[in-house]
Structure 1
Amino acid sequence: MVSNAIFIHHSDSSGYKFHDDHPFDPIRQVLTIDLLKEAQALTDEQIIQPDYLIDENMLRLVHRHDYVQAVKLLDTEDDPRSKAVLAEQFGLQTEDTPFFPGLHKAASAIVTGSVEAAEAVMSGRTLHAFHLAGGLHHAFPDRASGFCVYNDASIAITHIRNKYNARVLYIDTDVHHGDGVQWSFYDDSEVCTYSIHETGKYLFPGTGYAYEKGVDQGFGTCFNVPLEPFTEDESWLESFNVTIRKVIEAFKPDVILSQHGCDAHAYDPLSHIHCSMRIYQEIPAILHELAHTYTEGRWIALGGGGYDIWRVVPRAWSQVWLEMTDHPLAEAIRAHEVEALPAAWLERWSSASPVPLPNNWQDDSSAIPPIPRRDIITEQNRNTQSIVIQDL
């Protein structure tokens, strides 16, 4: 029997923690899982926990052998100077992505979960799969970047291509450009990469312009929608709907693999986009519709960025699972029939949170002030939309 959706969580992924003051904190996973359980939308029996780690051959689908060996050696090298040279050579001694004990195991666990999700969908075991620890889209074949060590999304896509010869549409809604995945498939006509993000003029990684369209056989299968700082819900959703529907109709994929970074929220400390929880209710609903329209339901979803880990990430990631499972709570939240977050979840985590937790699934509109330049920003984003789809 084919299941509708599976939820994947590798316990070792919780070890992917740089240090206590780092914005990337795996407690995001715990908070999300607990919220879904308290909402009676997820049970322990529904969680698939892989009891293995993928081997180096899988990592080397994307990453260079010397890079993988360097990540492993950082755990065993005793000489501090040798360790520092090794880390600096491969991007693992930066403020963003410093190495830590157990790095290889934790990063491998994240790749394992994403490959497991891809395999579950492509083998026909399930229509949809969600791996919230995945989505580390900035890692490159030979170096770490932007909190990302192994690029689980690129590895999962390459696995799909090699084993199933399927056309893959990668959709990245993280506020930061999905650069590592884009460059992995920049010359590949069978993988289409789509990223909607804050323009690289002002935000890391400084790429993702509309003119980045692919090269050689891959020309025309790369799409970027760089949005202006302080873009709000209406313009964000318009830009997404106008462009992604054109892209998927033109590319006609066999499967969707989506990355659900939730750092375009106005509360996020690492970006300048000014959206609310509304876009995180709409994104999975749109992708669910597109999957059933274009890919016979095949949809793999990964987590990604999101650095307001208490107020935003648990609510946003929960929406992906609620939508995937056709849970009645998803529609009830959109219709404002259900407002309050589970009382037990709020009681459990309020004392640990450094900021007051929201009481509701939706945002209080008065807590996110409107942007005075809304009309100008909207018009600039519409100009970008036209450029993105002009050849489709």
Structure 2
Amino acid sequence: MSGRGLLMWDEAVTKYNFGKDHPMDPVRLALTIGLVRAYELDRALDVAAAKPAGDSTLRLVHREDYVAAVRAASADPREADQAYGLGTMDDPAFKGMHEASALIAGQSVGAAEAVWRGEAAHAVNFAGGLHHAMPGAASGFCIYNDASLAIARLLELGAERVAYVDVDVHHGDGVQAAFWDDPRVLTISLHEHPRTLFPQTGWPEETGGRGAAAGSAVNVALPAGTGDEGWLRAFHAVAPELLADFRPQVLVTQHGADTHFEDPLAHLAVSLDAQRAVQMACHELAHTHVDGAKWVALGGGGYAVTDVVPRSWTHLVGIVGHAEVQPESVIPASWRDEVYARTRTVAPGRMTDGRWPVRWRPWGEGYDPGDRVDQAVLATRRAVYPLRGLLA
């Protein structure tokens, strides 16, 4: 196994573009790779591009008729069929949509293959994490579900236990749906409560299918306004214990940056520093609980496209490559100039929101029945833990 991390990157992923004024602005990807290069992280990791996912790979998760519908809308956006979630306000059709979506999926599948085969210790595709796409429909800015496809490919290669941890502000509904009845996949999603945010799923009572799959879906639904301390407390109150019990052969994580207090589409109040803390925790969990520390890290949502997303995912790339960027680091002037040239906005000056190190109270120090975050954590533990033979 190579001790180096692997960064999946192809400039053409920026063609995943829903058009002017859509929140999913591909400049967030361009600025992230720009910041990665400004910190010379592309020298600390191996950088590779995979081929677009072909039809046989896409059909590991997506229905054949849906892939055909995406192809038709990609060739002529006027042919977009809203019965498949295409041509909607969230997922407007655009020329080349199939090719761009399949390319992003291919990078995540390629990352999973490299990690499984021991060609890299860890791998990251920050263009991925499009976790809302369903087997037969686009949803929530997502056309093909690259996270599900990466997991399905791992299962095809022989993996018997794959854990998926999703810390995007939105519920990882597409991945949960893809593996609802599959006990080989444990999905853990930490997200804003469905009462207040799309996709209105991810209740703690959603615990997986029947039989052996019962308890394979884990959902921590956090109240709007949850900040750093509560978010980290909730993560550490659930994820480490479940991963220790499940003993995954591969860990796949999704790191949507839209939990941030500046994100315009959600209502959590998490800082960049807390996001970095969870990224580091996922890295540690891979080394502690995963055979061979096999870890695939993906991007996801994030709509503060200059201030937050590039910094958060550059931290992620550095952690994957064992070349962490220090929070107090002054951001290179070359990247700040690039931000202004592309967006006419002033870039942040450091890789921190000034909250590092982030403090939080471990679950083992006691439960506060009046705390809404503690109530959310306990609801999840009570729903899932007995199904897995654990004490809530």
- For 1:177, the equivalent position in structure 2 comes to 171
What is the alpha-carbon distance in structure 2 between the residues aligned to residue 35 and residue 377 of structure 1? 43
- For 2:60, the equivalent position in structure 1 comes to 61
CA shift at 1:44, angstroms? 9.9
CA shift at 1:351, angstroms? 4.2
- For 2:338, the equivalent position in structure 1 comes to 348
Alignment check: 8 A CA contact 2:17 2:25 kept = yes
What is the alpha-carbon distance in structure 1 between the residues aligned to residue 6 and residue 14 of structure 2? 19
Closer/same/farther in 2, CA of residues 386 and 17 from structure 1, 3 Å limit: same
CA shift at 1:284, angstroms? 1.3
CA shift at 1:266, angstroms? 0.4
Within 5 Å, give how 1:180-219 maps onto structure 2.
180-216=174-210, 217-219=212-214
- For 1:33, the equivalent position in structure 2 comes to 33
Closer/same/farther in 2, CA of residues 68 and 45 from structure 1, 3 Å limit: same
Task: Map Cα deviations across residues 357-384 of structure 1 (whole Å, 9 max, x no partner).
Answer: 211111156xxxxxxxxxx998111111
CA shift at 1:131, angstroms? 0.6
Alignment check: 8 A CA contact 1:247 1:389 kept = no
Q: SS at 1:129's partner residue?
A: strand
CA shift at 1:45, angstroms? 8.0
| Corresponding letter in the other structure for 2:285 | L
Q: SS at 2:168's partner residue?
A: coil
- For 1:309, the equivalent position in structure 2 comes to 305
Alignment check: 8 A CA contact 2:116 2:294 kept = yes
Which runs of 5 or more residues in structure 1 are unaligned? 366-375
- For 1:70, the equivalent position in structure 2 comes to 69
| Corresponding letter in the other structure for 1:179 | D
Q: SS at 1:208's partner residue?
A: coil
- For 1:279, the equivalent position in structure 2 comes to 274
CA shift at 1:322, angstroms? 1.2
Q: SS at 2:42's partner residue?
A: coil
What is the alpha-carbon distance in structure 2 between the residues aligned to residue 211 and residue 45 of structure 1? 40
What is the alpha-carbon distance in structure 2 between the residues aligned to residue 43 and residue 87 of structure 1? 44
Alignment check: 8 A CA contact 2:86 2:93 kept = yes
Task: Please tell me whether residue 123 in structure 1 is matched to residue 113 in structure 2.
Answer: no
Within 5 Å, give how 1:1-392 maps onto structure 2.
2-43=2-43, 46-50=46-50, 52-77=51-76, 80=78, 83=79, 86-216=80-210, 217-295=212-290, 296-327=292-323, 329-330=324-325, 332-333=326-327, 338-353=328-343, 355-364=345-354, 379-390=371-382, 391=385, 392=390
What is the alpha-carbon distance in structure 2 between the residues aligned to residue 342 and residue 271 of structure 1? 29
Identity %: 38
Alignment check: 8 A CA contact 1:260 1:301 kept = yes
Closer/same/farther in 2, CA of residues 46 and 127 from structure 1, 3 Å limit: closer
- For 2:359, the equivalent position in structure 1 comes to none
Q: SS at 2:89's partner residue?
A: coil
What is the alpha-carbon distance in structure 1 between the residues aligned to residue 237 and residue 370 of structure 2? 13
Closer/same/farther in 2, CA of residues 6 and 121 from structure 1, 3 Å limit: same
CA shift at 1:77, angstroms? 4.9
Task: Map Cα deviations across residues 256-281 of structure 1 (whole Å, 9 max, x no partner).
Answer: 00011000000000000011111121
Alignment check: 8 A CA contact 2:91 2:141 kept = yes
Q: SS at 1:94's partner residue?
A: coil
| Corresponding letter in the other structure for 2:161 | R
What is the alpha-carbon distance in structure 1 between the residues aligned to residue 228 and residue 217 of structure 2? 24
Q: SS at 2:343's partner residue?
A: coil
Scaled by the length of structure 1, the TM-score of the pair is: 0.90
What is the alpha-carbon distance in structure 2 between the residues aligned to residue 289 and residue 362 of structure 1? 21
| Corresponding letter in the other structure for 2:93 | F
Closer/same/farther in 2, CA of residues 61 and 251 from structure 1, 3 Å limit: same
CA shift at 1:11, angstroms? 3.0
CA shift at 1:24, angstroms? 0.3
Alignment check: 8 A CA contact 1:11 1:49 kept = no
Which runs of 5 or more residues in structure 2 are unaligned? 356-367
Q: SS at 1:314's partner residue?
A: helix
Task: Map Cα deviations across residues 239-270 of structure 1 (whole Å, 9 max, x no partner).
Answer: 10111112112211111000110000000000
Q: SS at 2:279's partner residue?
A: helix
What is the alpha-carbon distance in structure 1 between the residues aligned to residue 17 and residue 234 of structure 2? 34
**Root-mean-square deviation (CA), in Å?**
1.9
What is the alpha-carbon distance in structure 2 between the residues aligned to residue 274 and residue 316 of structure 1? 15
Q: SS at 1:357's partner residue?
A: coil
Task: Map Cα deviations across residues 140-191 of structure 1 (whole Å, 9 max, x no partner).
Answer: 1111000001111111101111112331000001000000000111111110
Q: SS at 1:171's partner residue?
A: strand
Closer/same/farther in 2, CA of residues 44 and 276 from structure 1, 3 Å limit: closer
Scaled by the length of structure 2, the TM-score of the pair is: 0.90
What is the alpha-carbon distance in structure 2 between the residues aligned to residue 31 and residue 378 of structure 1? 42
